[in-house]
């Protein structure tokens, strides 16, 4: 059997149509701020996490830890932490930005049916330290990649995801009672979006604009 033919028989063919749809998925992945309160089908979050766990990680360490936050009291405590941090963030805005910042809905904590806090287990022995001697922060980077994988999987399911970063990491660890070696990376709200757009909300609201990809590339 010819080597090229044998390779194609054992590997998927990511043809032009698939690549076009993948590009569409990436364009329509948005940081969703407003959700419908409609419940998700049973097992949805667990299935999305299974997909997220296919992500690459430094040394195959798989340092991601997902906490599904269902307890109303813990959710209320997270919301209170957000409100405090968001107030401080508003106070730090320049006068010309304060009004716009106040108008932005920066969390789906009120409406999203599912909430997932994501941590990096910095004490994990898995991977045996490979690849992180000089850059231990690659554990956190690995978790961020897994979050993005979950994000894309959610979008492909017609779901929206919002990454809430205006939170106190120490307070989140306290609220969720996680091990001391777990580092908070982000809190995710997941649900059906009120609206769908292929343009970021911050761009639509005039907060910021995307820049040409070429402006991010250097040649040496």
pLDDT for position 106: 63
Is residue 55 one of the residues assigned to a domain? yes
Paired with 160 in beta bridges are 191
Secondary structure letter of residue 59 according to DSSP: G
pLDDT for position 123: 97
77: tokens are: 């405590």
State phi, psi for 183 to the nearest 5 degrees.
-105, 130
Task: Write the CATH number for 180.
Answer: 3.40.109.10
Is residue 8 one of the residues assigned to a domain? no
Neighbours of 173 (CB within 10 A): 17
The number of helices, as runs of H, and strands, as runs of E, in the chain is 8, 4
Mean pLDDT by 10 residues, the chain (220 residues): 59 91 94 92 98 98 98 97 91 86 78 97 97 96 98 96 95 98 97 90 86 95
Is residue 99 one of the residues assigned to a domain? yes
Q: Domain total for the chain?
A: 1
pLDDT for position 161: 95
Neighbours of 196 (CB within 10 A): 12
Is residue 6 one of the residues assigned to a domain? no
- Prediction pTM value: 0.90
pLDDT for position 8: 59
Question: Under DSSP, is residue 114 helix (H, G, I), strand (E, B) or coil?
Answer: strand
**Distance (Å, rounded) from C-alpha 169 to C-alpha 54?**
26
**Distance (Å, rounded) from C-alpha 143 to C-alpha 120?**
6
Is residue 16 one of the residues assigned to a domain? no
Closest by Cα among 202, 214, 188, 200 to 64: 188
Q: Which domain holds residue 166?
A: 37-209
The structure tokens 């979950």 sit at 150
Is residue 84 one of the residues assigned to a domain? yes
pLDDT for position 5: 60
170: tokens are: 């120490």
Is residue 156 one of the residues assigned to a domain? yes
Is residue 98 one of the residues assigned to a domain? yes
pLDDT for position 107: 66
Cβ within 8 Å of residue 63, ≥6 positions away: 57, 120, 121, 122, 124, 126, 127, 139, 140, 142, 143
**Distance (Å, rounded) from C-alpha 55 to C-alpha 148?**
9
């Amino acid at each position: 059997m010819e080597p090229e033919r044998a390779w194609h028989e054992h590997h998927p063919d990511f043809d032009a149509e698939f690549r076009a749809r993948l590009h569409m998925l990436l364009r329509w992945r948005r940081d969703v701020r407003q959700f419908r309160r409609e419940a998700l089908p049973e097992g949805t979050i667990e299935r999305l996490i299974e997909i997220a766990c296919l992500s690459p990680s430094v040394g195959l360490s798989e340092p991601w830890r997902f906490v599904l936050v269902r307890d109303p009291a813990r959710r209320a405590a997270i919301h209170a932490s957000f409100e405090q941090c968001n107030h401080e963030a508003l106070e730090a805005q320049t006068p010309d930005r304060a009004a716009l910042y106040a108008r932005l809905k920066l969390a789906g904590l009120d409406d999203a049916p599912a909430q997932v806090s994501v941590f990096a287990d910095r004490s994990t022995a898995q991977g045996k330290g490979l690849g992180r001697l000089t850059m231990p922060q690659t554990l956190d980077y690995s978790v961020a990649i897994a979050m993005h994988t979950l994000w894309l999987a959610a979008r492909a399911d017609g779901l929206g995801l919002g990454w809430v970063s205006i939170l106190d990491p120490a307070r989140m660890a306290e609220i969720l009672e996680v091990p001391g070696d777990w580092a908070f990376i982000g809190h995710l709200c997941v649900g059906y979006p009120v609206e769908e757009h292929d343009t970021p909300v911050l761009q639509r609201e005039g907060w910021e604009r995307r820049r040409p990809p070429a402006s991010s590339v250097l040649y040496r």
